[in-house]
Amino acid sequence: MAPATTNLPVPAAPKDREPAKARPAGNFSADRDSLALTAYPSMIDRAVHATLARATAGLSPMAMAEAYFNWWAHIAFSPGKQMQLAQKANRKLARFQNYVSRYLREGESAEPCIEPLPQDRRFRDEAWQAPPFNFIQQAFLLQQQWWHNAFTGISGVTRQHEKMLTFAARQMLDVMAPSNGLLTNPVVLDKTVRDGGMNLLRGWQNWLEDWERQTGGHKPVGVENYVVGRDVAVTPGKVVFRNDLIELIQYSPATDAVKAEPILIVPAWIMKYYILDLSPRNSLVRFLVERGHTVFMISWKNPDESDRDLGMDDYRRRGIGAALDTIGEIVPKRRIHAVGYCLGGTMLAITAAVMARDGDRRLASLSLLAAQVDFTEAGELTLFINDSQVAFLEDMMWAQGFLDGRQMAGAFQILRSNDLTWSKLVHDYLMGERVPLTDLMAWNSDATRMPYRMHSEYLRKLFLDDDLAEGRYVADGRPVALADLRLPMFVVGTEQDHVAPWRSVYKIHLYAQGDITFLLASGGHNAGIVSEPGHPGRSYRVGAHNDNHYVDPDTWLATATTKPGSWWLEWAEWLDRQASGARANAPKEAGSAKCRPLGDAPGTYVLVE
């Protein structure tokens, strides 16, 4: 690890940053990526792409066109598939007609001809089972199924293009869903009649308020109830280290005696760190300190255009490496239990593998929360990751110096358009009701930026080329091998994760050589991790296979033990088993003689918009 630079003031312009030329990495070069050195013809192309990207939320129209023409060229010369689709259309029409006639004879006892997918909640209300709305929703679902058949199962179409087209078709059909229309949604119609149309007036006011806030660059309604440092991120602590990339927070002990081995939490820098220190009732940090742990947390700087050349190595060395060095100064001669969430977990796994390769034994255990090391099955996010799309994003970031948080949030909203876009349209604008904002929703709106260089390396090296899993990822001039990870590991996936699907997270079993306890929590990427004791409806499955034989995820799922409640308690017991058992008196103040506190938690970086 590179030595840490401790107790620096917040730098206006960091002086220790190397110029871009001195850091060869991936597809970067000074000639291509320096604004000053970009050739004029290339500058025109990249400027055009960057302008276009702002209108398309960063999605490449060239990538979609490539997928469409690939499909069109193959289906045009597939008369058998065309005949099959025509037959399916006729069968679906016959099924629909049969359902209508049966319903007219039998009434509500008639079986529907198609059921919505388990995750489709649009037609669950009983009002959808009465005519004419039952006919409308059945016709829509049959049409949705037919279009899925039209874009799948065509010999020669690449898997990537097939997924892109089925995704695009689903988005277009979601726009036209009867649940989104005033006259075709029975629940909205009933509400309109009962309220005398006042729901539509309230919805119009809600839409105007949201539009004004969005165009003005303001956060959603209700965020003002969750102020960082007042309502969320309130666990007491001190900033004990700061450089141009991180602030390191040491949290105040909540017990008279503390466990001797500290915990370092590495959150993702895609969003603010305090998802793991939300309100006092659901703060993972508070949960740990109340159990006697000494907890350190990295708070990443929200980068701007001056940070365009920060790369993955910077986040490893000046982020996690600097934090480990500082903890070694404050709690000397003690091994560290490292915890990484999402992208922070991916970088932590890389760091741990580098440390193992270099004989650095400071880590006692490794916990990865919804973090991937193999990106071959990284869910629907991979729809946006191919050479055309990455080049398009690079041109957008080249012009800005970063990927804006709102642009990133747009991609996640598209992935979950039913939950994040159309359900809001119906509930807030047609029903005229506001869903009270929760602390997790407020955190989700507190977006951060991603430096140009780092995000490009992340997309190319990890998502596109899968260098880490395949042994090509280079750190400090040598390849990193995940097989060097031989320490105890606790790995958490979540059942409904659309960012890091649990089967993708599970692939750590194919690489790491240590004992791995895998836990599958209910919920999604964020809510499944923020799963405090007492949270209603939570459960998890857990199992460990330490006999050096690989167990596939489906077999693991069938044999894992299902338990009710919060997975935090299971993890806490695992941490206790990994600890040395030694305890010490709680320190009277944070830091050390060399690492004097710089201010109170939550620090300054988390407040940067």
Catalytic residue among 342, 352, 355, 366: 342
Q: Within 176-321, where are the H helices?
A: 186-195, 198-215, 284-290, 312-314
Beta-carbon contacts of residue 36 (< 8 Å; ≥ 6 apart): none
**Which burial class, exposed, middle or buried, applies to 357 when counting CB atoms under 10 A from its CB (0-12, 13-18, 19+)?**
middle
Q: Which residues of 528-565 are buried (b: 16+ CB within 10 A; e: fewer)?
A: bbbbbeebeebbbbbbbbeeeeebebeebbeebeeeee
**Which burial class, exposed, middle or buried, applies to 409 when counting CB atoms under 10 A from its CB (0-12, 13-18, 19+)?**
middle
Q: Six-digit token pair at 252?
A: 């105040």
Give the SS3 label for residue 364.
strand
Alpha-carbon Rg for the chain in angstroms: 26
Distance between CA atoms of 414 and 411, rounded to whole angstroms? 5
User: By C-alpha distance, which of 173, 186, 285, 275 is closest to 236?
Assistant: 285
Parallel/antiparallel/unpaired status of strands 263-266 and 257-259:
unpaired
Known active-site residue 595: no
Contact between 297 and 445 under an 8 Å Cβ cutoff? The reply is no
User: By C-alpha distance, which of 263, 249, 265, 327 is closest to 291?
Assistant: 263
Contact between 1 and 355 under an 8 Å Cβ cutoff? The reply is yes
Mind giving me the DSSP string for 98-163? Answer: HHHHHHHHHGGGSPPS----TT--TT-SGGGGSTTHHHHHHHHHHHHHHHHHHHSS-TT--HHHHH
Give the SS3 label for residue 45.
helix
Other Cβ atoms closer than 10 A to 59: 20
Contact between 283 and 208 under an 8 Å Cβ cutoff? The reply is no
Parallel/antiparallel/unpaired status of strands 599-600 and 583-585:
unpaired
Distance between CA atoms of 373 and 484, rounded to whole angstroms? 14
Strand ranges inside 434-510, DSSP E: 450-451, 474-475, 478-479, 489-494
Active site members: 342
